[in-house]
């Protein structure tokens, strides 16, 4: 594998994977907030 194939793969899979994972985290945490809403009495 030449260095450009390696570099572009890292950029696409690495950065793409990072964005996709964090987007998934964002969706999961939004769902959890809906399932377990904040209640005032928790204070």
Task: Give the residue carrying structure tokens 């809403």.
Answer: 37
Dist CA 21 CA 12 (whole Å): 13
Judged on CB neighbours under 10 Å (0-12, 13-18, 19+), 7 is exposed
Task: Please state the closest distance from residue 29 (CB atom) to other proteins, in A.
Answer: 4
Q: Which of residues 2-41 bind other proteins (CB under 8 A)?
A: 3-4, 6-11, 13-15, 17-19, 21-30, 32-33, 36-39
**What is the contact surface with other proteins in residues (CB under 8 A)?**
1, 3-4, 6-11, 13-15, 17-19, 21-30, 32-33, 36-39, 42
């Amino acid at each position: 594998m030449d260095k450009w194939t390696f570099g572009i793969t890292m950029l696409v899979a690495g950065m793409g994977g990072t964005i996709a994972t964090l987007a998934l985290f964002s969706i999961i945490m939004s769902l959890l907030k809906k399932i377990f809403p904040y209640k005032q009495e928790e204070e």
